[in-house]
């Protein structure tokens, strides 16, 4: 069920050297230190259970959104074996489009109408974000990546870095520096209580939408004809082409899928974080990439799992480690670095093999 990539003839595997064991020991040491820190902080602070639960719920919501973005990385990586460095910007552009759609529907008054009308408007807003992201993603593929297919690996990566900067700073130039603030429609602004835990409506909606979209993606990849073609191309481009699969079409389709998810994620993050800015995709992209790597890049369930885990780590981490919440980005960075160093194949096994790590 995974879009996995492994070479049929395994390349020579690195032997385990002394350096390997030093790294292992270092890894265990870091793990022990982290656990010890969490233990001492937990003893000292004594937060109520409801605090942890609401943090965890928050983490799940974030994780759901990360998962949508991480899937974009994983899909493209599975097919092209390249990190779409500009994927975070695709998310950000979706966020901007969603903002303008939200403005529009606010202006025509739909968001104060009946529940059905609000739901319909929200759907259209997410759709606008998805559309903008898909357009961006497809253009990106056409302009910055397709001409470089078959080039040495560094070449498309550098192009992707260029594209990422280009999109960020174009948005800065076109829309200005000031962040755009999402106003939640009154209908979904509140929340409900379960015991001591407050659950915002947006959180529930976002998490449910994420799950639905992931399910949809899963069905597309597993059941549809194009999904099967995708898996074939991921396995072996050359053979797939010989079997009559239009590889270009499959690649474009992959970008469409990934970007559509990214657009939805952009809009939902807009509602969740309330602001969207020219550079809000960059860090998010790195985090989603972390999530994809955490689960084993190229692996669809891995990306979902890794994203939920990362969301939880990020939400609970600062309190558990007893550090200010502003440091949550450092936590994600550290997770990324540690995972790549100690287990580059991710948590879900040896999917990535030596082809890339």
Partner 1 sequence: MLTRSIQRGLRIGAISFGILTYLILVGLPTRIGDAAMPVLAVAMALLFWISLRGGVSKQDVSARAPAPLFTAGTMAGLFAGALTATLIAFFTGLLADGVRLQPIFDKIVPQNMAALYGVMPGVIATEGIPALGWLRQTLFLTASGIVGALLVLIERSIRQRSFPRIPWLRWVPLILPFVLLAFVIWLGMPGVTFGGNNRGTIRLLATMVTIGSGIFALRAARPGAEQRVFGLLFFLAIAYLPFTLDQFQNSVMGIVFIFVMIGLGLNIVVGFAGLLDLGYVAFFAIGAYVYAFLAAPFSSPWVTAQLQSLGLPYNQPLVSYWMAIPITMVAAGIGGVLLGIPVLRLRGDYLAIVTLGFGEIIRLFMLNLSDLTNGPRGLLNIAPPYLFGINFGSPREIFILALIGAGIVAFAAYRLDGSRLGRAWIAMREDEDVAQATGVNLVRTKLLAFAIGALFAGLAGQLYAARQVNIFPENFSLFVSIDALSLVIVGGMGSIPGVVIGALALKGLPEVLRGVDEYRIVTFAALLVLMMIVRPEGLVPSTRRRRELHEDAEPIAGVDAPSALEQLATAEPTATQKAGRQ
Partner 2 sequence: MAMIEARQVTKVFGGLVAVNSVDLVVEERMIASLIGPNGAGKTTFFNCLTGLYRPEGGDIVFDGQSIVGLRPDQIIARGMARTYQNIRLFGSMTAIENVLVGQHVRLRSTPLGAIFQTPATRREEKKAEQKARELLAFVGLAGKGDMIAKNLPYGDQRLLEVARALGSDPKLLLLDEPAAGMNPRETDAMLHLINRLRDELGITILLIEHDMKVVMSISDRVTVLDYGKKIAEGRPEQVRTDPSVIEAYLGAGVIDVHAPA
Residues near partner 1 (CB under 8 A): 11-12, 14, 19, 23, 82-83, 100, 143-144, 147-148, 151-159, 161-166, 169-170, 173-176, 286, 289, 293, 329-330, 333-334, 336-337, 340-341, 344, 356-357
User: In angstroms, what is the minimal distance from the CB of 292 to partner 1?
Assistant: 11
Residue from 8, 17, 46, 178 that binds partner 2 (CB under 8 A)?
17
Q: Would you say 165 or 347 has its CB closer to partner 1?
A: 165
Given partner 1, partner 2, none, residue 92, with its beta carbon under 5 to 8 Å by kind, binds: none
Given partner 1, partner 2, none, residue 147, with its beta carbon under 5 to 8 Å by kind, binds: partner 1
What span, in angstroms and rounded, lies between the C-alpha atoms of 339 and 70? 15
13 in contact with partner 2 (CB under 8 A): yes
User: In angstroms, what is the minimal distance from the CB of 250 to partner 1?
Assistant: 21
- Quick count: other Cβ atoms within 10 Å of Cβ 266? 34
Q: Would you say 319 or 334 has its CB closer to partner 1?
A: 334
Query: Under DSSP, is residue 197 helix (H, G, I), strand (E, B) or coil?
Result: strand
Start-to-end CA span in the chain (Å)? 22
Given partner 2, partner 1, none, residue 62, with its beta carbon under 5 to 8 Å by kind, binds: none
User: In angstroms, what is the minimal distance from the CB of 42 to partner 2?
Assistant: 41
Q: Would you say 89 or 304 has its CB closer to partner 1?
A: 89
Residue from 8, 12, 107, 115 that binds partner 2 (CB under 8 A)?
12
User: In angstroms, what is the minimal distance from the CB of 60 to partner 1?
Assistant: 25
Q: Is 59 exposed, middle or buried (0-12, 13-18, 19+ CB in 10 A)?
A: buried
What span, in angstroms and rounded, lies between the C-alpha atoms of 74 and 297? 5
- For partner 2 (CB under 8 A), the number of binding residues is 6
User: In angstroms, what is the minimal distance from the CB of 349 to partner 2?
Assistant: 12
Given partner 2, partner 1, none, residue 15, with its beta carbon under 5 to 8 Å by kind, binds: partner 2
The set of residues, in sequence order, having a beta carbon less than 8 Å from that of 26 and lying 6+ positions away, is none
Q: Give the range of 7-15, 110-118, 241-249, 299-307 binding partner 2 by CB under 8 A.
A: 7-15
Q: Which residue has the tokens 């990190």?
A: 83
Residue from 1, 10, 22, 176 that binds partner 2 (CB under 8 A)?
10
The set of residues, in sequence order, having a beta carbon less than 8 Å from that of 114 and lying 6+ positions away, is none
154 in contact with partner 2 (CB under 8 A): no
- Quick count: other Cβ atoms within 10 Å of Cβ 233? 27
The set of residues, in sequence order, having a beta carbon less than 8 Å from that of 197 and lying 6+ positions away, is 50, 53, 54, 57
Q: Give the range of 10-18, 203-211, 253-261, 323-331 binding partner 2 by CB under 8 A.
A: 10-18
User: In angstroms, what is the minimal distance from the CB of 92 to partner 2?
Assistant: 39
User: In angstroms, what is the minimal distance from the CB of 116 to partner 1?
Assistant: 29
Q: Would you say 235 or 246 has its CB closer to partner 2?
A: 235
- DSSP secondary structure string, 223-236? HSHHHHHHHHHHH-
What span, in angstroms and rounded, lies between the C-alpha atoms of 206 and 69? 13
The closest alpha carbon to 297, from 262, 339, 328, 329, belongs to 339
Q: Which residue has the tokens 């879900």?
A: 348
Q: Which residue has the tokens 């396995």?
A: 235
Q: What is the DSSP letter of 185?
A: P
What are the distances in angstroms from CA 357 to CA 15, 83, 85, 341? 14, 12, 17, 10
Given partner 1, partner 2, none, residue 159, with its beta carbon under 5 to 8 Å by kind, binds: partner 1
Query: Under DSSP, is residue 192 helix (H, G, I), strand (E, B) or coil?
Result: strand
According to DSSP, the β-strands at 275-276 and 197-200 are unpaired
16 in contact with partner 2 (CB under 8 A): yes
Which parts of this chain interact with partner 2 (CB under 8 A)?
Answer: 10, 12-13, 15-17
């Amino acid at each position: 069920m995974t879009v996995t990539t492994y070479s049929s003839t395994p390349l020579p595997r690195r032997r385990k050297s002394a350096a390997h064991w030093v790294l292992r020991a270092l890894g265990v040491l870091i793990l022990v230190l982290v656990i010890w820190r969490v233990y001492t902080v937990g003893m000292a602070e004594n937060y109520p259970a409801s605090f942890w639960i609401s943090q965890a719920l928050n983490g799940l919501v974030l994780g759901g959104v990360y998962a949508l973005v991480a899937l974009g990385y994983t899909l493209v990586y599975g097919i092209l074996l390249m990190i779409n460095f500009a994927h975070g910007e695709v998310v950000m552009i979706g966020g901007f489009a969603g903002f303008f759609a939200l403005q529009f529907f606010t202006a025509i008054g739909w968001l104060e109408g009946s529940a059905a009308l609000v739901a319909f408007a929200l759907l259209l807003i997410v759709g606008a974000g998805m559309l903008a992201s898909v357009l961006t993603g497809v253009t990106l593929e056409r302009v910055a990546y397709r001409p470089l297919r078959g080039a040495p690996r560094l070449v498309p990566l550098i192009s992707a870095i260029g594209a990422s900067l280009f999109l960020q700073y174009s948005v800065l130039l076109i829309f200005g520096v000031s962040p755009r603030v999402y106003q939640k429609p009154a209908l979904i602004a509140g929340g409900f209580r379960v015991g001591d835990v407050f659950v915002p409506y947006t959180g529930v909606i976002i998490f449910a939408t994420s799950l639905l979209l992931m399910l949809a993606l899963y069905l597309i990849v597993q059941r549809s004809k194009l999904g099967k073609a995708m898996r074939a191309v991921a396995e072996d481009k050359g053979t797939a082409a010989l079997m009559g699969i239009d590889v270009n079409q499959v690649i474009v389709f992959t970008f469409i899928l990934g970007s559509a998810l990214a657009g939805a994620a952009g809009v939902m993050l807009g509602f969740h974080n309330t602001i969207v800015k020219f550079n809000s995709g960059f860090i998010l992209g790195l985090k989603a990439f972390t999530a994809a790597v955490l689960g084993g890049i190229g692996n669809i369930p891995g990306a979902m799992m890794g994203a939920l885990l990362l969301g939880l780590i990020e939400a609970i981490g600062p309190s558990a480690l007893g550090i200010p919440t502003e440091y949550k980005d450092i936590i994600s960075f550290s997770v990324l670095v540690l995972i790549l160093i100690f287990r580059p194949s991710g948590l879900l096994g040896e999917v990535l093999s030596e082809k890339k790590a």
